Amino acid sequence: LLSSITYRLWKAAQCLSMTFANHSISCHNALGFNEVNKAFGLGFPKTHHTAVKFRSIFSDFPFFNYVQSKALDDVLYTNRNFVACAPTGSGKTVLFELAIIRLLMETPEPWRDVKAVYMAPIKALCSQCSENWKKKFGPLGLSCKELTGDTEIDDFFEIQDSQIILTTPEKWDSMTRKWKDNCLLQLVKLFLIDEVHVVKDATRGATLEVVVSRMKAVNAYRASQNPEAGLSMRFVAVSATIPNISDLADWLSNESGPATYLSMDENHRPVKLRKVVLGFPCSPNQTEFKFDLSLNYKMANIIQTYSDQKPTLVFCSTRKGVQQSAAVLAKDARFIISSEHKQRLMKYASSILDSKLKDLLMLGIGYHHAGVGLSDRKLIEEAFALGDLPVLFTTRTLAMGVNLPAHLVVIKSTMQYIAGSCEEYGEADILQMIGRAGRPQFDSSATAVIMTKVQTRDKYTNLMNGMEIIESSLHGHLVEHLNAEIVLQTISDVNMALDWIRSTYLYIRALKNPTHYGFSADLDRCGIEAKLQELCLKNLNALSAIDLIRMDEDINIKPTEAGRLMARFCIAFDTMEQFSKVVGTESLFDLVSLVSKSREFSDIQLRVNEKRALNTLNRDKNRRTIRFPLEGKIKTSEMKVNCLIQAQMSSISIQDFGLTQDTAKIFRIGMRISKCLSEFLSHRSEAVFPALLNSLILAKCFRAKIWENSHFVSKQLEKIGQTLSTAMVNAGLTTFSQIEQTNPRELELILNRHPPFGNQIRDSVRHLPKYSVTLEQLPRFGSDTAEVVARVNLKNQADLLSRRTAPGHHFVSLIIGTLPRLSFTCVVVFLIDPGHKRQCNHLCKNKTLCAHDCCKVGVAVGRKRSTNHESSFSSYLTDLRNRSDALVQTPVKRLKVNHPVGSPKLSCLVFMKANFWLHEI
């Protein structure tokens, strides 16, 4: 009897020492939860202990695991802020779901005004949660909206009807830079932070820290405005295993004290992880590339030692390194593959397009990176997920996006190539990669191996054991975020800057570890605060030096228009510094080069295997090349960005898949930068006519992705890509008017398409807006004053009443250049009938200060067609009317020219450019 009881106790203890993931209730070598309950009459809480209406959310598993059980009371039955620290794969996402349920329990139905924000450091996590939560919370009437990407900043309208918003720190940063003017953000009652340990990351950490601190400010502002309502925002954060979770709890404190926290070590991982750090000698004369190459020849032995003949995932720092490592392993190792397994590999190989990958796949080795074609990547992922591919070499991007767990994970070298120099992986990257080790449905244990230098072995041993302290990275990116807070009016003097610093994680850690931030170790709190104030002042002086802010003698701070643009478009300080050096005579090529130098492109790398393709795009006697060829060979990342911008705008086909991806990223960012540049120059007081004109042209070219004088205008039409547009150019159809006048059957013949494709293309062109611009000088003028009327007329208004092809956000820019000795003041007005107006649907709190034009001037109301057709305008003109009405109401544009006595005859150049989405020569 005693031995039986001892055995049952041992089995229960074995079970309780494990943390079961949601899908691994019956894990190998462990007793199931139901058996524990039968043995002891106790165990983990059942999921049906939640309210009846919410039980379907946890229908995939009957019991909460150990981590979830320990957090259940704090997350589900209180409203306290909460931080959980637990290993990867321990079911931390369920804690977010419990927090959402708590919010719903506290809020009466219908839950129309419920707003919960989930923030994760990478888009892949947001997409994964979005897909999952739509299924779980959709039946309850909650709408999920994924808000990621480098898009325009005003997306409040999109989240108006959503209850759960999933976003990244960068996107939420841009969204919240105007939070005081938008009451939607003040409806947020729950803020969920995934992977909060990323706050230490050198690139993403500062943004995450600032966003969380800003949401704390939103919460404090809301409470101060309406103290009787008892409104408060709850913060729930989860993290990988870290030693100083109490610091995160202090940071996420509220008026009742620090956040509650739960800390679990690696013993509670669902799949036990064996961690190995191997140090290899590296002589001082040996370059990083040679060291990385030397590790290739040690790979076969490591896989043989640690893989247990199970799937192995090897992370390399570069795409070239991935392919080199795979090729070396193919020569050094042979895997025992059965005839049946070989047939499966042959089946995969027959569908692979990459010849090198096809040969390796037959040997049981594959590689995966962004330069591999999409169809090949999908096949490789499928083969590895099913266990048919023994070894897969990949870059770290796979760890961030695709969920492909393996029994063995190897990180080959801890250095990566960024912006022309070698840097160590961030802690978040390392943890994400080793987190791929362990397949709960197949394994009870897994192994992660880090291959590094002897000198850094101890560092990574501490990191693998969760012993590395999480520090702040805000001090290295303070200047951009200070400017954003100044524009928000959170900071208006140096003392308020220090108050803002006190709300950040930087302040928490600077008090405990001042030496990490460059302060003396023997400073007390007052001394450290003084140093932080000095740091703020240094950054404020940098902003003031290029006129992004203005400071008076008492160090009161006010933003300038340039500073507002920097905050609105999320532009880096170094990029704004480049803008401030524009002299005003820059050509279009000069501005393309200027944009290419932007710090926003610092992570665009120039790879060795791309140089040949880029040099061909730049200069080649036998084919069409870019508009403004660069001097010499392509040898820097800046030159690569410049070349890809010009290649896309010149409609030159880019064959390399990796370059295509880089081009798409460059244009997403470039649209934002070029728009900021044109607005920045428009606010310059000195004469910058050529540069301003060219910046407007460049911004327009970025939006349309073609040059302003391009023949490939048809590429902007729906259903017309590079190939069909080229066919039209070869047929002499280089303008929209030529396309409109061509017979539909002839269009189909040119494009090799069936009817009614030609009719659809011609109708699309017919329903584009067609404008005419006229300038008229009125007879009322004197020696120093001229009066000019500028008119923009819509010629095909009747066609646009029924249908319009182009998006409805066109606008007109009027810029005027004069001789150097002449000056003028001007008021710009376009004579457009404003019609009847109503208030727009945006929920901006201060409609006079927000970025929406319609908030200031209203939205045109549709009216019944009268017998006089000229009196009614289509909704297409709404944006033009809004811009017109927002300006000073005067019937003409007045030029008051100061004409010095004895100077040459009055002469001025007037240039009016309609910045329409679609354009042609």
CA angle 603, 691, 544 (to 5 degrees): 65
The β-bridge partners of 786 are: 895
**Pick from 851, 679, 841: nearest CA to 178:** 851
Of 87-91, 369-373, 379-383, 518-522, which range is least confident? 87-91
| Residue-level pLDDT at 24 | 31
User: Per-residue pLDDT averaged across 8-13, rounded?
Assistant: 40
Q: Compare 848 and 238 and report the one with higher pLDDT.
A: 238
**Mutual orientation of helices 744-751 and 722-730 as an angle, nearest 10°?**
120
Place of tokens 């230098």: 453
| Residue-level pLDDT at 220 | 85
pLDDT in tens, 765-785: 999 888 888 888 877 767 777
Give the span between the Cα atoms of 179 and 796, in whole angstroms. Answer: 40
| Residue-level pLDDT at 857 | 58
Q: Does residue 860 form part of some domain?
A: yes
Give the span between the Cα atoms of 876 and 801, in whole angstroms. Answer: 8
What is the Cα 765 distance to its own chain's centre? 34
The enclosing domain of 457 has a CATH number of: 3.40.50.300
| Residue-level pLDDT at 514 | 93
pLDDT in tens, 848-872: 666 565 665 566 544 433 333 333 3
The enclosing domain of 751 has a CATH number of: 1.10.150
The C-alpha R_g of the chain, in whole angstroms, comes to: 31
- Please state whether the peptide bond connecting residue 110 to the residue before it is cis, i.e. omega within 30 degrees of 0: yes
| Residue-level pLDDT at 276 | 93
Q: What is the DSSP letter of 178?
A: G
| Residue-level pLDDT at 230 | 65
Q: Compare 102 and 12 and report the one with higher pLDDT.
A: 102
Percent of the chain with pLDDT over 70: 78
Q: Does residue 16 form part of some domain?
A: no
| Residue-level pLDDT at 900 | 40
Is the domain of 846 the same as that of 697? no
The enclosing domain of 592 has a CATH number of: 1.10.3380.10
Binning pLDDT at 50, 70 and 90, where does residue 400 land? low
Q: What is the DSSP letter of 406?
A: B
Please report, for the chain, how many H helices and E strands are present, in that order.
Answer: 36, 25
| Residue-level pLDDT at 655 | 84
pLDDT in tens, 312-324: 999 998 888 899 9
Is the domain of 295 the same as that of 333? yes
DSSP notation for 475-522: GGSHHHHHHHHHHTTS-SBHHHHHHHHHTSHHHHHHHH-GGGGT--TT
pLDDT in tens, 191-213: 999 989 889 887 788 999 999 99
| Residue-level pLDDT at 445 | 86
Q: Assess whether pLDDT exceeds 70 at residue 153.
A: no
Q: Compare 231 and 498 and report the one with higher pLDDT.
A: 498
> Domain boundary residue among 233, 268, 303?
268
| Residue-level pLDDT at 339 | 86
Give the span between the Cα atoms of 74 and 72, in whole angstroms. Answer: 6
| Residue-level pLDDT at 698 | 96
C-alpha atoms less than 13 angstroms from C-alpha of 661 in its C-beta half-sphere = 12
Give the span between the Cα atoms of 325 and 870, in whole angstroms. Answer: 71
* Range(s) of the domain holding residue 795: 771-915
Structure tokens at 373: 């074609």
Q: Does residue 663 form part of some domain?
A: yes
Which positions ≥6 away from 78 have C-beta within 8 Å?
Answer: 260
Q: Does residue 355 form part of some domain?
A: yes
- Contact assessment for residue 299 and residue 410, using Cβ atoms and an 8 Å cutoff: yes
Q: Does residue 890 form part of some domain?
A: yes
Which positions ≥6 away from 888 have C-beta within 8 Å?
Answer: 827, 829
Is the domain of 793 the same as that of 828? yes
Is the domain of 501 the same as that of 442? no
Q: Does residue 32 form part of some domain?
A: no
- Contact assessment for residue 83 and residue 71, using Cβ atoms and an 8 Å cutoff: no
Q: Assess whether pLDDT exceeds 90 at residue 399.
A: no
> Domain boundary residue among 464, 492, 526?
464
Taking every pair of C-alpha atoms in the chain, what is the biggest distance, in angstroms? 119
Q: Assess whether pLDDT exceeds 50 at residue 151.
A: no
Q: Does residue 120 form part of some domain?
A: yes
pLDDT in tens, 662-702: 999 999 999 999 999 999 998 887 768 889 999 999 999 99
- Contact assessment for residue 808 and residue 860, using Cβ atoms and an 8 Å cutoff: no
Strands (E), 197-263: 234-239, 260-263
- Contact assessment for residue 366 and residue 326, using Cβ atoms and an 8 Å cutoff: yes
| Residue-level pLDDT at 823 | 47
Which positions ≥6 away from 259 have C-beta within 8 Å?
Answer: 80, 81, 82, 83, 235, 237, 248, 249, 250, 252, 253
Structure tokens at 864: 């019944």
Give the span between the Cα atoms of 382 and 376, in whole angstroms. Answer: 10
Count of the separate structural domains present in the chain: 6
Is the domain of 589 the same as that of 624? yes
Is the domain of 482 the same as that of 419? no
Is the domain of 458 the same as that of 561? no
Structure tokens at 136: 């779980």
Which positions ≥6 away from 266 have C-beta within 8 Å?
Answer: 87, 241, 273, 465, 466
pLDDT in tens, 630-642: 999 999 999 999 9
Count Cβ atoms within 10 A of the Cβ of residue 791 and give its class: 0-12 exposed, 13-18 middle, 19 or more buried.
middle
Strands (E), 323-479: 365-368, 391-395, 408-412, 415-418, 421-424, 445-453
Is the domain of 778 the same as that of 726? no
Is the domain of 163 the same as that of 257? yes
Is the domain of 458 the same as that of 503? no
Binning pLDDT at 50, 70 and 90, where does residue 787 land? confident
Q: Compare 592 and 843 and report the one with higher pLDDT.
A: 592
> 711-736 b/e with 16+ CB inside 10 Å = b?
bbbbbbbeebeeebbbbbbebebbeb
Is the domain of 749 the same as that of 611? no
> 203-232 b/e with 16+ CB inside 10 Å = b?
bbbbbbbbbbbbbbbbbeebbeeeeeeeeb
pLDDT in tens, 869-906: 333 334 434 544 454 454 433 333 344 434 443 433 33
The enclosing domain of 536 has a CATH number of: 1.10.10.10
Give the span between the Cα atoms of 134 and 129, in whole angstroms. Answer: 8
> 599-616 b/e with 16+ CB inside 10 Å = b?
bbbbebbbbeebeebbbb
**Mutual orientation of helices 505-512 and 205-225 as an angle, nearest 10°?**
110
Residue 894, amino acid: R
| Residue-level pLDDT at 562 | 95
| Residue-level pLDDT at 634 | 94
The β-bridge partners of 827 are: 894
Binning pLDDT at 50, 70 and 90, where does residue 917 land? very low
Binning pLDDT at 50, 70 and 90, where does residue 47 land? low
Q: Between the ranges 411-415, 644-648, 853-857, where is the mean pLDDT highest?
A: 644-648
Q: What is the DSSP letter of 68?
A: H
Q: Does residue 398 form part of some domain?
A: yes
H runs (alpha helix) in 84-141: 93-106, 123-137
Is the domain of 264 the same as that of 278? no
| Residue-level pLDDT at 667 | 94
Percent of the chain with pLDDT over 90: 41
Secondary-structure percent of the chain, ordered helix, strand, coil, rounded to 5 = 45, 15, 40
> Domain boundary residue among 540, 568, 596?
568
Residue 392: phi and psi, rounded to 5, are: -130, 125
